[in-house]
Amino acid sequence: MRTTLRAVWLPLLLFLISAILAFWLLPKGLILGTFFILTAIFFALDLIGRYSDYQYLKKSKYKKKLYWELFSKTRCSREVMIAADPRAKSYYKLNGYKWYHLLPDNPRDCFTYSFLASLHKRHKIPK
C-alpha cells in the first residue's frame, strides 16, 4: 500500500486540491469553477494512468534501463518507475533529474496528441 501511494501521490494530491477548489469556487464564479472541475478530471485520468503503469511495472519481469528511459518523460512517470524499481532512482539522479522537474523535458510536448495518448495507453500485463 505504501509503495502504491508513493507511485501515485502527486496526481492524487493535485486531484484533491483541484476538486476542493472546484467545489469551493463553483458557486462564486462559473468560469473559474468549471476550470477547476476540468483540471480535477484531467488529474483523475492521470491518476488512473499512473496506477495502470505501476501495476504493469510491478508485475513485469523485465526491469531494465529501457523502461527507465521510457518512463522518464514526466515527474509522475519517474515516481511510478522508482516505486516499482528503486534502482531507477540512481539512474534519474545521474541524468540530472531533480525534485523540481515537474514538466516534461520539452514542455510543448504536453499539448501533443502522442504525449497525451502515451499517458493513458493500456498495458498488457505479463503472466
Could you read off the pLDDT of 103-119 as tens digits, one per residue?
A: 667 777 667 776 666 66
What are the domain boundaries of the chain? 2-119
Q: How many Å apart are CA 24 and CA 16, to the nearest integer?
A: 12
Judge whether 53 and 8 are in contact, CB under 8 Å.
Answer: no
Number of Cβ within a 10 Å radius of residue 28? 8
Provide the pLDDT for residue 117: 67
Judge whether 118 and 51 are in contact, CB under 8 Å.
Answer: no
Q: Count CA atoms within 13 Å of residue 119 on its CB side.
A: 21
Provide the pLDDT for residue 118: 63
Q: How many Å apart are CA 79 and CA 39, to the nearest integer?
A: 21
Provide the pLDDT for residue 63: 64
Could you read off the pLDDT of 3-62 as tens digits, one per residue?
A: 677 788 888 888 999 999 888 888 777 788 888 888 898 888 888 888 888 888 888 766
Provide the pLDDT for residue 98: 79
